[in-house]
Amino acid sequence: MAAPAPNPIVAPDNVHALLNRLHEQSLTQEAALPSTYLSNPDGFDDLMRDKFIALDQDKCQFVYQLARAIGARNIAEIGTSFGVSTIYLALAVGSNLDRFGGEGKVIATEKEHTKAERARQHWKEAGDDLVTRHIDLREGDLLETLKNNIPQLDLVLIDIWAPVALPALKLLEPKLRSGAVVIIDNSISSATRYKELLGHLRSPTNGYTNLTLPYSKGLELCVKI
Ligand SMILES: C[S@@+](CC[C@H](N)C(=O)[O-])C[C@H]1O[C@@H](n2cnc3c(N)ncnc32)[C@H](O)[C@@H]1O
């Protein structure tokens, strides 16, 4: 008999149940979206206002495990939506702070007020002490909200509409520590939309090593050297 897939997330049962529920809701919503939704700018923001579009659960577990492995204390999340991936990042930062000490936060970013409110509710449900206290939510356009007060970063998760991705990374680049990890979702399925971002990361002059992980639709793992 096959062994059950190990789940690296260290959290109480109610948090696992919450995460399972949120991923299920997100997948149900996504399955009902028209297949062309990402390439149709007409009414895009209105269509997306009540949608999770959460990072897949296996990818969330990978990013959590990676954040634990590198002892990440400061993480920027480019695209927060209803705060699903943020919960994983906050759990990892909390564990790393317990283990290694010091200070740190997940800087979360969401431009839609209604989505930011839902994210706060989910974090509260996961636990203020376990999750919310490790998150600094910057509400508004991240090209403004990320201009100031960014600590040295260990990890950046880019899970956002393509036009914002490269400008966001460029804002954060001066804060990436040597060895910092940048993760980009959908690097295979959205390779065309992310052409400029991936071109920037893969250019030999920009100081990254790059690897495309074979998760569904691709997950790019880049290291700032
Ligand atoms: C793919 S979703 C993020 C999903 C999230 N990482 C998760 O796993 O739950 C991308 C989010 O980025 C937000 N967004 C798009 N452009 C933005 C901007 N310029 N500033 C801040 N947030 C933005 C969208 O409103 C959307 O909720």
For residue range 8-55, list pLDDT tens digits in order. Answer: 999 999 999 999 999 999 999 999 988 777 777 778 888 888 899 999
Asked whether the CA dihedral 95, 69, 67, 154 is positive or negative, the reply is positive
CATH superfamily, region 13-224:
Vaccinia Virus protein VP39 (3.40.50.150)
Q: CA-to-CA distance for 145 and 141, rounded, in angstroms?
A: 6
- Pocket around ligand 1 at a 6 A CB cut-off: 52-55, 79-82, 84-85, 109-112, 115, 141-143, 159-161, 164
Domain coordinates of the chain in residue numbers? 13-224
Residues 144-198: tens digit of each pLDDT: 999 999 999 999 999 999 999 999 999 999 999 999 999 999 999 999 999 999 9
Measured from the Cα of 157, ligand 1's closest atom is 6
Residue 44 CA to ligand 1 centre (angstroms) = 12
Task: Pick from 58, 117, 118, 161 the residue to mutate for probing ligand 1's pocket: most ligand atoms within 8 Å of its CB.
Answer: 161
Count of C-beta atoms within a 10 Å radius of residue 33: 13
Least Cα distance to 155 among 217, 106, 100, 87 occurs for: 106
Question: What does 115-148 look like in DSSP terms, one character per residue?
Answer: HHHHHHHHHHHH-TTTTGGGEEEEES-HHHHTSS
Average pLDDT, the chain: 96
Q: How far is the CA of 160 from the centre of ligand 1 (A)?
A: 5
Q: Is the ipTM of this complex over 0.90?
A: yes
